[in-house]
Amino acid sequence: MKEAINLLYKRRSIRKFTPQTVTEEQIETLLRAAMAAPMSNHKYLSELIVVTDRAMLDQLAETHRYTKMLKEATLCMIVCGEKANRAWEQDCAAATQNILLAATGLGLGSVWLGIHPNPDSVATVRGLLDIPDTYSPLCLIAIGYPAEYKDPSDRFDLARVHRGRW
C-alpha cells in the first residue's frame, strides 16, 4: 500500500473541466469513499447530496465568487452534517477529503468550495437544495473530467513542525 500514499500528493484543486460526464459507477465509488471516513459519533452520520442536473449546477455556481467553475463541472457533491453533533464539521471535512482523494484515484478533477461558516452561502445552498434547518452543508465539491493538469503537491515545511512540544 506504500505507493497508494502518492494519491495524497496527486490530489490537487482542479477548477477546469471537460464536458464529459461522470458515470453512475464513479459516483458510487465517491459515495463509498465518503462513508469510509472516520466518524466522531455513530449517532450522527453525514448526509450526501449528489447533483448532476445542469440547471442546478448553474444555480449553485452563483453561490459566491469562487464557485463559478460549477458551470463547467458535471457533478457536485454536497456533504451535510447534523448540527446537534458538535464535531459535525470535522466529520464532514474528513468525508470531503475522502471524496477528493477517490476522485483523484478515478482520474477525475475536483475542488473543495467552502460554504460553512459563511451565513449567506449556507442560506443560498440550503434554499436551492432544501436542506433541513437541523443540518448544515459544509462545502460544495465540484467534480468532473479535468481540463487542466497540476504536478503533485510538495509543500513540506519543517517550520510548521514542533518536536516534543510547541
**Which residues ranging from 59 to 98 are in contact with its own copies (CB under 8 A)?**
80, 86-87, 89-91, 93-94, 96-98
Q: Quick one: which segment of 15-23, 31-39, 67-75, 143-151 binds its own copies (CB under 8 A)?
A: 31-39
State yes or no: residue 155 binds its own copies (CB under 8 A).
yes
The set of cell numbers assigned to 126 is 440550503
Q: Between 20 and 86, whose beta carbon lies closer to its own copies? A: 86
Shortest spacing between CB 147 and its own copies, in angstroms: 18
Q: Does 150 bind its own copies (CB under 8 A)?
A: no
Interhelix angle 88-105/24-35, rounded to 10 degrees, is: 140
One-letter amino acid identity for 135?
Y
Give the residue from 100, 105, 109, 96 showing the smallest Cα distance to 20: 109
CB 26 within 8 A of CB 107: no
Using alpha carbons only, give the angle 25, 110, 132 rounded to the nearest 5 degrees: 80
User: Residue 138 interacts with its own copies (CB under 8 A)?
Assistant: yes
| Residues within window 8-27 making contact with its own copies, judged by CB under 8 A | 8-11, 13
The one-letter amino acid code at 2 reads K
Give the cell for residue 86: 458538535
Q: Which of 18, 20, 23, 53 binds its own copies (CB under 8 A)?
A: 53
